[in-house]
Homo-oligomer: A and B are copies of this chain.
């Protein structure tokens, strides 16, 4: 038994007091969760995907329950990067936790403009979202072909003004290692994965799709086996830090991602189910480390005996 295992990690130069990051799109800009716990308990917060202009998103219904998971088709509803910088970032940057800005564009130019605007801000890291399955243009279209991943990463990196850049990869691909390599070659400082898997649910009684958008992104425990495999493959393909996610509901789930090679992890759907999920996951991870007699969480990273 270890008394107080160290949970601190560093992801491409950004220190985090623990490896637990609130995933993009499930934590808003943090404001809704302040009444549930102090935000500084998190390793970092990744904000809702930001676009250049405000975005309305897709029509409702936008959510469907599926076996051990959920589909969402929010479609990047957000107030735009300017409103983020003006109305939300100041408070968030003072909250005592690292801030990651998730950025999404329709075109490469848009991605670059957003990155440039954020590069002079107080955000600690950029996360390039080229894997949103819920928008017609941009999003996942950039994320499936290695050449386009490389190209967009390179262009955005140039505009990021020294802010570390994580590239968020899409699971809707046949070779995640290849995409990871492309991101690294484009200059990514880290990769994060997985975004949601495109899926669909049917209301058989009414013979209609449940989601107004027909398809949506599948998240939650259902996709965890796929996420673990992709993190494992990506972490073997590249040496830059990997941030893993997909269906993490407990500290042991988080440990599995670290064992597969993730340096830190994000929690999305678990927060949708319970606002305090991240806090519980950190506590459980700490207990797991104690039970395993591991003094430093970094010792887990990639330690899978396979």
Interface on A for B, CB 8 Å cutoff? 64, 66-69, 71, 144-145, 170, 172-175, 197-202, 204-209, 214-215, 218, 220-226, 228-229, 232, 247, 252, 255-256, 259-260, 288, 292, 303-306
Contact B67 A222 (CB under 8 A): yes
Chain B contacts for A247, CB-based, 8 A: 67
CB-CB nearest in chain B for A212: B306
Contact B144 A306 (CB under 8 A): no
Q: A69-B225, A218-B226, A225-B66 are in contact. Are A304 and B198 (CB under 8 A)?
A: no
Interface centre among A198, A222, A292, A305 (most CB of B within 10 A): A222
Of the candidates B66, B200, B226, B228, the one whose C-beta lies within 8 Å of that of A202 is B228
Secondary structure class of chain A's binding surface, majority of residues: mixed
Contact B174 A200 (CB under 8 A): no
Contact A305 B207 (CB under 8 A): yes
Of the candidates B144, B175, B226, B288, the one whose C-beta lies within 8 Å of that of A197 is B226
Contact A204 B288 (CB under 8 A): yes
Question: A133: shortest Cβ distance to chain B, in Å?
Answer: 9
Contact A304 B209 (CB under 8 A): yes
CB-CB nearest in chain B for A141: B174
Contact B202 A256 (CB under 8 A): yes
A223 to B260, CA, bound (A): 22
